Amino acid sequence: MARIVMKFGGTSVANIERIRNVARHVKREVDAGHEVAVVVSAMAGKTNELVEWTREASPMHDAREYDVVVSSGEQVTSGLLSIVLQSMGVNARSWQGWQLPIKTDGTHGAARIVDIDGTDIVKRMGEGQVAVCAGFQGIGPDNRVATLGRGGSDTSAVAIAAAVKADRCDIYTDVDGVYTTDPRIEPKARRLKKVAFEEMLEMASLGAKVLQVRSVELAMVHKVRTFVRSSFDAPDAPGMGDFDNPPGTLICDEDEILEQEVVTGIAYAKDEAQISLRRVEDRPGVAAAIFGPLADAHVNVDMIVQNISEEGTHTDMTFTVPASDVEKAKAALAAKQSEIGYDVIQSETELAKISVIGIGMRSHSGVAASAFKALSQKGINIKAITTSEIKISILIDGAYAELAVRTLHSCYGLDK
């Protein structure tokens, strides 16, 4: 017998029939003798609808009331799934974030989990009751509902799994695992059996949409073995109830991965933009003068390249931001031009960031050289490069994004 947390996303609970399918997955684990907690998202499209309602009510709405409205989708799903499970003879009870409680900080709309008391749920699970928890929500220090940001149900599930000391957290979604790259771009992409936490964190932050970044961070910190699997596989299909080897991808500590590939996957992010500040005076504190205002404006800066002039007195500072933040970033920098001391600000949009990821890169040389050679042979120009121990990110024109993904996927033999 094991303790399992099962999380189901919006497409998995999009209507009553799909909720019945989810209930069959849950019942399979209950019938196998496992202690089970379930975390659910709102039904597909419901959160977007609720967000639009708040904007229609008032463009400048109170963040606390926004959380009250948008968190209601998960409440509906948790109640419906509990009803369906009860009709199947499964002892189930719905729980909202404040009932557990999931305690968060006070950042309404993008709260971070501070603490979870899993005592009551563990007691109920030990008595054979399935806890059906509303994801995406908790309770802030002001004693009001607080939501965790888009994709927050993944974070709820991993956090609850850590709190109840679950043997595994199963993330059921509309894909059957983590692939070497996006199968819609490269049909030869392969489903990975295991991925290390660090690799998954890089993949999630660099464009892979399978898991929310903060959920992977939590899983890595608390060593929560996380399994990505499809809710659309038949609940009674062969192997679905195999606890040790079910279909899907296991996100785990790298010690569990015996055969480490040099490169695990290729991630990509479109709609990147590049901003360049020309002839900035090269002096102590200039980087803080540039990136401080951007942080205050909540602009997420990624790749940073600095070029010192030949005389050594000036520098060009180039960095990337999401394309949607270009104008906000330029406005923030223009307001501080006299303090920063740049001559001109330039920007370029419609760029893409392609990333090569793999923990095996730590002990292998020539990985970057192979990427640069493969891209050059396809006539793809590289605008910027950043590296870490387990990743190489390359900035290119957006028009070449898919070609670059396929090229690098083949370059490292991921299609074999």
CATH code for the domain in which residue 207 is found: 3.40.1160.10
| CATH code, domain carrying 281 | 3.30.2130.10
Q: Report the candidate in 356, 365, 349, 362 with the shortest Cα–Cα distance to residue 399.
A: 349
9 assigned ligand-binding residue: yes
Tell me which of 231, 254, 277 is where a domain ends. Answer: 254
47 assigned ligand-binding residue: yes
Per-residue pLDDT, 132: 98
Per-residue pLDDT, 114: 95
Per-residue pLDDT, 308: 78
Q: How far apart (Å, rounded) are the C-alpha atoms in residues 257 and 66?
A: 43
Q: How far apart (Å, rounded) are the C-alpha atoms in residues 203 and 293?
A: 28
416 assigned ligand-binding residue: no
321 assigned ligand-binding residue: no
Residues in the chain: 416
- Specify the DSSP element, H or E, that contains 370: helix 367-377
The answer to whether residues 108 and 150 touch, using CB atoms and an 8 Å cutoff, is no
74 assigned ligand-binding residue: yes
Tell me which of 212, 230, 254 is where a domain ends. Answer: 254
Residue type, 104: T
Residue 283 and residue 236 share a domain: no
Q: What angle separates helix 326-334 from helix 286-296, to the nearest 10 degrees?
A: 130
Residue 318 and residue 237 share a domain: no
89 assigned ligand-binding residue: no
Distance of CA 295 to the CA centre of its chain: 21
Per-residue pLDDT, 377: 96
* Helices within 225-346 (DSSP H only): 286-296, 326-334, 337-340
Name the 3-class secondary structure at 2.
coil
Per-residue pLDDT, 310: 67
Name residue, tokens 């909720």. Answer: 19
Tell me which of 254, 286, 303 is where a domain ends. Answer: 254
349 assigned ligand-binding residue: no
Residue 22 and residue 119 share a domain: yes
Kindly give the parts of the chain with pLDDT less than 50. none
209 assigned ligand-binding residue: yes
Residue 326 and residue 211 share a domain: no
Residue 294 and residue 237 share a domain: no
The string of pLDDT tens digits covering residues 281-310 is 888 888 999 999 999 998 989 889 888 766
Per-residue b/e over 138-150, b at no fewer than 16 CB within 10 Å?
bbbeeeebbbbee
Per-residue pLDDT, 302: 87
Torsion of CA 248, 269, 384, 216, to 10 degrees: -50
Residue 311 and residue 246 share a domain: no
Which residues, other chains included, contact 397 with Cβ-Cβ below 8 Å and sequence gap of 6+?
350, 351, 352, 380, 381, 383
8 assigned ligand-binding residue: yes
Per-residue pLDDT, 243: 82
The string of pLDDT tens digits covering residues 318-361 is 999 999 999 999 999 999 998 898 899 999 999 999 999 999 88
193 assigned ligand-binding residue: no
7 assigned ligand-binding residue: yes
The tally of domains found in the chain comes to 2
Beta bridge partners of 6: 38, 170
Residue 260 included in any domain: no
Q: How far apart (Å, rounded) are the C-alpha atoms in residues 51 and 312?
A: 51
